[in-house]
């Protein structure tokens, strides 16, 4: 997309907020409903499920760790943006790389958890718990994966001369918004599904 500052298509912007950021907020509003519905389905089915309700096969230690990693990555995201803003492209890239790395660690934990479950005989078609769990956590995982890819393109662009000191940073801000959101959703999932 084009890279004008807060002037887009020569328009003056009524709120002064960047169009793309506004769009992102609207999109995340929609996503909130999306995950809200999924979490509700999960909560309903947690209690209605036949057979194993799965709670006992959660590996809380592992998931707590990956949760911690994901939370930390949000911090790293903030630091990355701040660094780019301060003109330190180098540190910006380092923090950005760390976010990606932590995202990948989180995904790795998830893949491990999934395969453990399948190993224990819990697949999406085993029972409603499995179905709801894999759907919810799978969709969240997909969001993380997309986020990692997106961070990758941002990284790429930083090497292609974007995000230099003084230039606009909406590309990073956008992915940052998204990343924080995905992180927040995970907090909700972790609390409601794993802990309670």
Partner 1 sequence: MATVTTTAPDTRTFSGAAWSWITTVDHKRIAVLYLVTALGFFVMGGVEALLIRAQLARPDADVVAPDRYTELFTMHGTTMVFLALMPMSAAFFNLLLPLMIGARDVAFPRLNALSYWIYLFGGIFINISFVAGGAPNAGWFGYAPLTATKFAATHAIDFWALGLQILGVSSILASINFIVTIVNLRAPGMTLNRMPMFVWMSMITAFLIIFAFPAITIGLVLLLFDRYMSTSFFLPAGGGDPVLWQHLFWVFGHPEVYILILPAMGIVSEILPTFSRKPLFGYAVVAYSGAAIALVGFGVWTHHMFTVGLGPIADTAFAISTMAIAVPTGVKIFNWIATLYGGSISFKTPMLFAIGMVAMFIIGGLSGVILGSPPVDGQVQDTYFVVAHLHYVLFGGTVFGLFAGIYYWFPKFTGRLLHEGWGKVHFLLMLIGFNLTFLPQHMLGIDGMPRRIHTYSSDMGFELWNMVSTVGSFMIAVSVAVFAINAIRSARSGAISGSDPWDAGTLEWTIPSPPPVYNFAEIPVVDGQYPAWDAKRGGGNTGAVATVPETLEGEDEPHIHMPNPSYWPIVMAAGMVLAASGLIFHQIFILLGAMMFGISLIGWIEEPAE
Binding positions for partner 1, rule: CB under 8 A: 1-2, 8-15, 17, 19, 22-23, 26-27, 29-31, 33-34, 36-38, 41, 44-45, 48-50, 124-125, 127-128, 130-132, 135, 153
Nearer to partner 1, 27 or 68 (CB): 27
Contact 74, 106 (CB under 8 A): no
Structure tokens at 190: 């972790």
Nearer to partner 1, 102 or 172 (CB): 172
Radius of gyration of the chain (CA): 19
A 10 A CB-CB count for 24 gives 20
Least separation, in Å, of the C-beta of 69 and partner 1?
27
Least separation, in Å, of the C-beta of 17 and partner 1?
7
Helix (H) or strand (E) holding 53, with range, is none
Least separation, in Å, of the C-beta of 55 and partner 1?
16
Q: Specify the 3-state DSSP secondary structure of 11.
A: strand
Nearer to partner 1, 33 or 196 (CB): 33
Nearer to partner 1, 49 or 80 (CB): 49
Nearer to partner 1, 102 or 137 (CB): 137
Least separation, in Å, of the C-beta of 156 and partner 1?
11
Name the nearest CA neighbour of 82 among 20, 3, 169, 12.
Answer: 169
Least separation, in Å, of the C-beta of 136 and partner 1?
10
**Residue 59 Ramachandran class (φ > 0 left, ψ -120 to 50 alpha, else beta):** beta
**Bridge partners, residue 11, by sequence:** 8
């Amino acid at each position: 997309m084009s890279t004008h500052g807060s002037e887009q298509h020569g328009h003056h912007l009524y709120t002064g907020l960047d169009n793309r950021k506004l769009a992102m907020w609207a999109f995340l509003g929609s996503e909130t409903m999306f995950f809200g519905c999924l979490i509700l389905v999960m909560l309903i089915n947690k209690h209605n499920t036949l057979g194993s309700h799965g709670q006992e096969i959660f590996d809380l230690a592992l998931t707590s760790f990956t949760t911690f990693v994901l939370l930390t990555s949000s911090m790293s995201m903030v630091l990355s943006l701040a660094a780019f803003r301060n003109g330190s492209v180098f540190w910006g890239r380092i923090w950005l790389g760390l976010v990606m790395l932590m995202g990948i660690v989180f995904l790795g934990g998830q893949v491990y958890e999934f395969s453990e479950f399948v190993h224990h005989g819990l697949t999406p078609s085993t029972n409603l718990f499995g179905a709801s769990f894999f759907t919810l956590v799978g969709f969240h995982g997909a969001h993380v994966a997309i986020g990692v890819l997106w961070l990758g393109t941002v990284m790429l662009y930083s090497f292609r001369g974007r995000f230099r000191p003084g230039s606009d940073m909406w590309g990073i801000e956008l992915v940052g918004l998204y990343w924080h959101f995905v992180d927040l959703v995970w907090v909700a999932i972790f609390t409601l599904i794993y802990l309670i």
